[in-house]
Amino acid sequence: MTIKPLIILPDPLLRVASRPIETIDAAVKRLADDMLETMYDAPGIGLAAVQIGEPVRMLVIDVSKEEEENAPRVFLNPEVLSAGEETNVYEEGCLSIPDYYAEVERPAAVTVRYLGLDGAMREETVDGLLATCLQHEIDHLNGVLFIDHISKLKRDMVVKKFTKAARKAGV
C-alpha cells in the first residue's frame, strides 16, 4: 500500500468526469488499498480516486468514530438512485481544498447503488454523516466540488486564494 500525493485545487483534473470501472482486477484492488491508506494518513473520512490522480469511479469512506475500530468501505460506480425531501447542513471540508471549511446543505438521506470490490451490486439507503460524505464523494466523480454548493462570492475567493498559492509554488 502506498500513500499517494493529493491533487489540490485548482488542478483541472478535479473538474473532469471520472470513467466507470469495467473490470475489478488487481490494479483496481491496489488502487482501493492506496486510496484507503492515503485517506487514513491525511486524515479524512472519504476519498475519490481522482483526488490521487486516477479519474475512475471509485471512492472510499470510513465514518467510524475515533474510539471505534476502522470501518473502511469501497464503492465502485456509485449512483444516487433517490434522495429524501429532508435536508441537512454540515460543515464540509475537502482534502483537495486544504484548511477551508463551509456549511453545505444536502439531502439528509439518499439511496445509492454501487458495486462492491467483490463485484456484487448493492443498494443501500444511508443518512447522517455517511449520506453527506457519499454525496460529497460522488460529486468528485462528476468533477463537482463542495465549493460549488456555496455562494459564488465565497467560491471565487477560495479559488483565487488557491490559484495564487499554486502560482507562487510554481505549479
Binding mask 20-59 for ligand GNR (x = CB under 6 A): ------------------------xxxxx--x--------
Interatomic CA distance for residues 32 and 67, integer angstroms: 24
Q: How many Cβ atoms sit within 10 Å of the Cβ of residue 13?
A: 15
Tell whether the torsion through CA atoms of 99, 143, 39 and 82 is positive or negative: positive
Binding mask 104-143 for ligand GNR (x = CB under 6 A): ----------------------------xx--xx--x---
94 binds Ni ion (CB under 5 A): yes
Interatomic CA distance for residues 132 and 1, integer angstroms: 27
Active site residue 68: no
Interatomic CA distance for residues 66 and 68, integer angstroms: 5
Question: What's the DSSP call for residue 108?
Answer: S
# binding residues, ligand GNR (CB under 6 A): 17
Catalytic residue among 37, 54, 92, 137: 137
From the CB of 24, what's the least distance to ligand GNR, in Å?
Answer: 22
DSSP string, 22-75: ----HHHHHHHHHHHHHHHHTT-SEEEGGGGT--BSEEEE----TTSPP--EEE
7 binds Ni ion (CB under 5 A): no
From the CB of 16, what's the least distance to ligand GNR, in Å?
Answer: 15
Question: What's the DSSP call for residue 151?
Answer: -
- From the list ligand GNR, Ni ion, none, partner contacted by residue 50 (C-beta under 5 to 8 A by kind): none
From the CB of 113, what's the least distance to ligand GNR, in Å?
Answer: 20
Task: Note the residues at the interface with ligand GNR (CB under 6 A).
Answer: 44-48, 51, 90, 92-96, 132-133, 136-137, 140
